[in-house]
Structure 1
């Protein structure tokens, strides 16, 4: 059995002229939502075996907040340049390449890739995963490369707690 948590980065800011998309920071609301959702999650699930984040500032900051809340060492947080992509192709490749020694993983990425991924591999259709939304999917396999149809068992969104 493999368990995957996918987190869409928290709400980011568009208020900076001349800043590259990859460097956009979280808004205050995004920071608050990341703490809110990560605290809820720590009461519902065990700490995932591996944390992996897109290299984009907003995803990385979200991952750092979750790492802090879960007491996961930041030195173990893996950063993936390929997750800074807005299709599910790189997300699928990242998940299927996970070490089978990890029974659970949490990945911090971006909108389109996440929505496509959870609808392709999960059991619940979601029109849209909101910022700082977390989706949990279980797969009945011992090898990440063999993931197919999983069971969506968790959908946590900030609006559920406001």
Structure 2
């Protein structure tokens, strides 16, 4: 069995002129949501075996907050340039390339790729994964490269707690 937790980065800010998209920071609401959802998740699941984040500032900051809540060493956080994409193709490649020694993984990335991925591999239709939304999918396989037809275990969205 392999379990994947996919997290869309928390709410980011558009208010800075001249800043590149990859450098956009989290808004105050995004930071608050990341602490909220990471604490909810930390009480619900065991610490995932590996944390992998897009290299975008907003995804990295979200991953750092989750790492803090889970007591996961920041030095072990894996950063992926290829996850800074808005298609599910890079997300699929990233997941399928995970080390089989990891039984669970948490990945911090971007929409539209996330919504496409969870609908392609999960068994529950999810119209739109909101910022700081988490979708858990379980796969009946021993090898990440063989993922298909997963079972959506749960979703955690900030709106559930507000």
Using structure 2 for the length normalisation, give the TM-score: 1.00
* Unmatched runs of 5 consecutive residues or more in structure 1: none
Count of aligned pairs between the two proteins = 162
C-alpha separation in 2, matches of 1:136 and 1:154: 5
Partner of 1:94: 94
Structure 1 runs (4+) greater than 4 angstroms displaced = none
C-alpha separation in 1, matches of 2:82 and 2:42: 27
C-alpha separation in 1, matches of 2:144 and 2:124: 20
C-alpha separation in 1, matches of 2:42 and 2:110: 22
Partner of 2:138: 138
1:56-67 alignment, distance < 5 Å? 56-67=56-67
Partner of 2:25: 25
Using structure 1 for the length normalisation, give the TM-score: 1.00
Partner of 1:4: 4
Please give the per-residue CA displacement for 1:46-103, whole angstroms capped at 9, x wherever unaligned: 0000000000000000000000000000000000000000000000000000000000
Partner of 1:15: 15
Partner of 2:74: 74
Report SS of the residue matched to 1:138.
strand
RMSD: 0.3
CA shift for structure 1 position 154: 1.2
